[in-house]
Amino acid sequence: MIFSRTADGLSAEHRFYEADVVLYCEGSSKEDGTSSLDELFWSEVMAARGQKVFCKSFGCKADLIALAGRIFSGNVARAIVALDRDYDWLLSEQVEHPCVLYSYGYSWESDLPYGFSFGKIMNLFFTVVDTSRLEQSYYSFMQSSDAQLRRLCLIDVRYRSAPVQIFDRSKPASLVASDTTGGRALRASGVVSKCRATRFFEKVQIRQEQLHGRLGRELFFGKTVLKLAYQWFVGNSKSKSSGRSVTYDTFCSALILNMQHDGRGGQRDAYFDELVQRWRNYALA
């Protein structure tokens, strides 16, 4: 953390790591030299756009925003802060600066369940030659959950400061149906019941144009959305003779390493292209 204490240190740190830029992201640094999934995600986003980056976990979002302030005031161009978008964009709380990158969806987890090499992920769970039918089934399943996820997003925004948690963020899979093979995706009845029992909510003004074109799986709590995708793969592998057990972290890592950055990720890819180009223009100015 020594480099991050001064503007001169932040400006010089990329040379120490022989990188184009040092990117600070959410999470805790690991003493054994391994990387967090946050670091892996942002490394892949930057590398796919031609940037040699050294990623460092720097703590919580508040820590990163404070660091961003030092980057701004010191006119540092070779340090980037990467943040989960959360609901900042809906609440007009997003920090706008070339050295600040936000996830496209709610969090980096939200950016993973589409625009990836489906066959490579499917073959982690069981061996199959032709994955086209399964891929169509997967995307149909995720699309079928969009309306409910969109509704949960609006509820979550309005009840985010309620004295009683509408859902437990420490258990993101609690909203996901244990068996998704029958088409059931989410268990939201408990959320709706808590809303009815809670009188407190915030009157947040959300304009329809803010939500235009955004999918529910991009808007809502990313860890739940990614658990939903994971459960689909797990459920579809149970009945297969070659079915294998794959941990959630392995699934996440594989998705990150098999992201497709050539436009098949839709607006996500164009969004990151624009952000990285904006930073590059600023760094070279």
Strands (E), 161-244: none
What pLDDT is attached to residue 122?
96
Q: Where are the domains positioned within the chain?
A: 3-105+270-284, 113-258
The CATH number fitting domain 3-105+270-284, selected from 1.20.58, 3.40.50, 2.30.29, 3.30.70: 3.40.50
Element (H, E) at 229: helix 222-237
31 beta partners: none
Q: Report residue 217 CA to chain centroid gap.
A: 10
Query: Which 3 state secondary structure label does DSSP give 116?
Result: strand
Q: Counting beta carbons within 10 angstroms of the beta carbon of residue 261, is it exposed (0 to 12), middle (13 to 18) or buried (19 or more)? A: middle
Element (H, E) at 154: helix 146-158
What pLDDT is attached to residue 90?
85
Q: Counting beta carbons within 10 angstroms of the beta carbon of residue 248, is it exposed (0 to 12), middle (13 to 18) or buried (19 or more)? A: middle
Tokens of 48: 């796919």
Q: Counting beta carbons within 10 angstroms of the beta carbon of residue 171, is it exposed (0 to 12), middle (13 to 18) or buried (19 or more)? A: exposed
Sheet containing 79-83: which strands, arranged edge to edge? 53-57, 21-25, 79-83, 100-102
What pLDDT is attached to residue 115?
95
Length in residues, the chain: 285
Element (H, E) at 269: helix 267-284
> Does the CA dihedral 57-60-62-63 come out positive or negative?
negative
Side-chain-side CA neighbours of residue 12 (13 Å): 7
What pLDDT is attached to residue 198?
76
Residue position matching structure tokens 């540092």: 76
Quick check: 5 and 76 in contact, CB under 8 A?
no
> Who's near 150: CB < 8 A, 6+ residues apart?
211, 215, 216, 219, 220
pLDDT < 70 positions in the chain: 1-3, 180-184, 199-213
Q: Counting beta carbons within 10 angstroms of the beta carbon of residue 161, is it exposed (0 to 12), middle (13 to 18) or buried (19 or more)? A: exposed
